[in-house]
Amino acid sequence: MQPLPTPQKLSYIIIIMRTQFLVGAALAVTAAASPVIKNREVTTVTVSGSTATSYPQPASEIQGFPIHQSCNGTERRQLEKALGDTIKIAQQATQHIYAHGNDSALYTKYFGQAPTAEVIGWYEKLIHGDHEGVLFRCDDIDGNCHQEGWGGHWRGENATDETVICPLSYSTRQPLEALCSGGYTVASGKLNHYFAADLMHRLFHTTKIGEGAAEHYADSYTECLELAEENPAEAVRNTHTLQYFALDVYAMDVALPGEGCTGTVGEEEGDSHVAAPASSAASSAVSSASASTTAAATSTSAQAASQTASKTSSAAAECHTHADGVVHCV
């Protein structure tokens, strides 16, 4: 057994305990009064005035394009496939530029020494842009599809973001998987031979995607190459150049890797620009006639174009009317 503490030790212990008690009490009072030590409270403060602008977050998946209920099941499936292929060639073109910049021989061939930003921007609008209202329909609402050789048309002033696809497109346009087959070459083939490239052209006509800036500055393959040398600033927003580049890149990188099917310039059909008054029909319906199965081609009649945008010859040319009333045939 341990000996009991002496009276002196007991007094010492009592003093120590009293001191600890007093210190603890003092700290408790201080903590209650101190804003630093007390528990943090959450306070909501409302500040009047301007607030930061928030934008919708980019979609994690690529948006599809709306297709009108007038398209039947077969037409809808073909359009969905073709629009998906349009996105695919735009993606490949963009990735090619990201990887090679304007050191790419294909890039300088079509766009000269122009900076890459605008070209990338046009393709990115097709891929990731807001596609709401960029409508494809099959009901021939403007009465143009009955004209011989018409594959579809932009609706122009009637609906600047709507495109009509005529029945002829579904029977004549080729899928992207067929690129470089059957003797096709980029240099001498028609741009609307493949549904993907044809729809790319039509999409650039819409206000929401083309913004009135992606336009016709050169048409044929040869003219597009000349534009790259003479005016790169126009080449980067020339719709046919954007089509040619996307096809050439996809052919070289995917269809026939390292080989492609650029080809050489063959006998190309002439281009013409026929002035027509901006009548209600001429300014509202922009036609894109498909390539005819025959090789014969006659020029579009200026007189017929002045009467209506629907009146074209039985040419193998692809014609459409611009908002300024100019009928453009390729």
> What pLDDT is attached to residue 166?
97
> What pLDDT is attached to residue 24?
57
Classify residue 320 by its DSSP letter: E
Q: Identify which of 117, 52, 79, 301 has the alpha carbon closest to the alpha carbon of residue 203.
A: 79
Which contacts of 216-220 are long-range, i.e. CB under 8 A and separated by 24 or more positions? Answer: 216/240, 216/322, 216/328, 217/241, 219/271, 219/328, 219/330, 220/268, 220/271, 220/330
Ordered per-residue pLDDT tens for the chain, 330 residues: 555 556 566 565 555 566 565 555 555 555 555 444 444 454 444 445 555 655 555 444 566 899 999 999 999 999 999 999 999 999 999 999 999 999 999 999 999 999 999 999 999 999 999 899 999 999 999 999 999 989 999 998 899 999 999 999 999 999 999 999 999 999 999 999 999 999 999 999 999 999 999 999 999 999 999 999 999 999 999 999 999 999 999 999 999 999 999 999 975 443 333 333 333 343 344 444 433 333 333 333 333 333 333 333 333 455 554 444 444 544
CA angle 251, 256, 258 (to 5 degrees): 90
Q: Cα dist. 165→90, 110, 171, 200, 233 in Å?
A: 21, 29, 12, 13, 31
Domains located in the chain, CATH noted: 73-268 (3.40.390.10)
Classify residue 162 by its DSSP letter: E
CA angle 318, 319, 321 (to 5 degrees): 155
Which residue, chain included where needed, has tokens 């390539």?
A: 291
The number of angstroms, rounded, from the C-alpha of 197 to the middle of its chain's C-alpha atoms is 13
> What pLDDT is attached to residue 64?
82
> What pLDDT is attached to residue 200?
97
> What pLDDT is attached to residue 291?
39
**Can you list the alpha helix ranges (DSSP code H) found in the chain?**
7-33, 73-100, 105-111, 117-128, 167-172, 195-205, 207-210, 221-230, 232-235, 239-250, 280-284, 302-307
> What pLDDT is attached to residue 12?
57
pTM: 0.68
